[in-house]
Amino acid sequence: MTLSSSGAHLIGQKIGMTRVFDEKGVSVPVTVIQVGANVVTQVRSPDVDGYAAVQIGAGDIKPRNSTMPLIGHDAKAGSAPLRHHKEFRVPEKDLGNYELGQELTLGALEGVRFVDVIGTSKGKGFQGTMKRHNFKGQQASHGVERKHRSPGSIGGHATNRGHSGKLKKGKRMSGQMGNERVTVRSLDIVRIDAENNLLLVKGPVPGHNKAWVEIRPAIRLYKSKVQKG
Amino acid sequence: MGHQQILESVNADAIKTDLPRLDIGDTINVHCRIVEGEKERIQIFQGTLISRKGRGINEMITVRRVVDDIGIERTWPINSPFISKFEVMRRADARRAKLYFLRDRVGKSRRLRDRRRGLKHIQAETAGAQ
């Protein structure tokens, strides 16, 4: 079965980055993602659950590290205990493509040239506006004192005030940076090694090595990629 | 298989196994493949190997040569398909891993001592490596 961009995603583990030389000899930076067997652990139908979705499980876990309810849940799908379970909305008409216990592998990406990869970015902690939003900061001299990295004015009444005298929501300021869900769109698939369950995509992917990421066929391509494809 | 082994296995077949022994300080010929449109030709860059860094597929070499008193350094991945061959022209005596000090040298002091004294050793080593 081939995945569509509006269906379930594959769950894989980021192994790390390296380089490969393409057929022209050009060095291509790649991220290696290990995608083992993904098991359909539950199919949610509109009749029973009120909406259409599939739950995908992936990753080995020792039974003693899982819980009895989860072990039973995975056993219903005929699978050993799984580490991660994720639910994905599926269009109702495609629900018939999935059945309980079905295994999705990298074969599902056959014929796909671009993928989106979703993960949790590395946490950077509480950061100022220069690092977080690429603000310029203030001048190094010309009378600037102790304010070299501060954001400056956050605007006057006319531009930035919402109702009730407060700032509009979403004003860019200091705060937590990273450790959030990030989608990287339309990455080139460099190689699919189905034998070793490895997927090589061009460029970086959110998260640290060993982080778990979701992979789906690209929903919408960038203009340059459309021309390429 | 550990994660590092997986990364190494991804490009294991791209790593060259037929490399000669390349030591720091050696004068080497690098045969670069240059593609111009349809045509392809080989350009030879001769210089002193001043640095090797990285490991596995990421290993880079830096070769320095001086033309008309202007130093030229080129850096390649040692496993790049754009390099068809390495030839060792001369072995030299280098006492450090990186010969960046050659950049500040002018005139005759640029030369490195030939490794004649131990040449027998080197030949034996090379034979052993192959």
Could you read off the pLDDT of B55-69 as tens digits, one per residue? 999 999 999 999 988
Do A147 and A120 lie in a common domain? no
| Structural domain boundaries, residue A206 | 10-124+180-226
Check residue B37 and report its DSSP letter: T
Q: Are residues A22 and A69 in the same domain?
A: yes
- The CATH number for A102's domain is 2.40.30.10
What is the spatial order of strands in the sheet that A82-89 belongs to?
A: A82-89, A53-60, A38-44, A103-104
**Predicted confidence band at B79 (pLDDT cuts at 50, 70, 90)?**
very high
Nearest CA in chain A to B35: A24
Number of domains in chain A: 2
Cβ contact A32–B81 (<8 Å): no
A26 and A100 together in one domain: yes
Would A119 be classed as within a structural domain? yes
Q: What is the ipTM of this complex?
A: 0.80
Q: Measured between CB atoms, which of B6, B35, B77 is closest to A27?
A: B77
Query: How far is Cα A149 from Cα A166, in angstroms, rounded to an integer?
Result: 24
* B16-68 pLDDT tens trace: 998 998 999 999 999 999 988 889 899 999 999 999 999 999 999 999 999 98
Domain co-membership, A81 together with A165: no
Backbone angles phi, psi at B85, to 5 degrees: -160, 150
**For A29, nearest residue in chain B (alpha carbons):** B58
The C-alpha atoms of residue A162 and residue A139 are separated, in whole angstroms, by: 30
Question: Are B58 and A19 within 8 A, CB to CB?
Answer: yes
Nearest CA in chain B to A199: B10
- Domain-located, residue A5: no
What region does A164 belong to: left with phi over 0, alpha with psi -120 to 50, or beta? Answer: left
More confident residue, B41 or A166: B41
Q: Note whether B11 contacts A: Cβ–Cβ < 8 A.
A: yes
**Under 8 Å CB-to-CB from A113, ≥6 apart: which residues?**
A188, A189, A229
The answer on A184 and A161 residing in a single domain is no
> Which two three-digit tokens encode residue A212?
């778990």
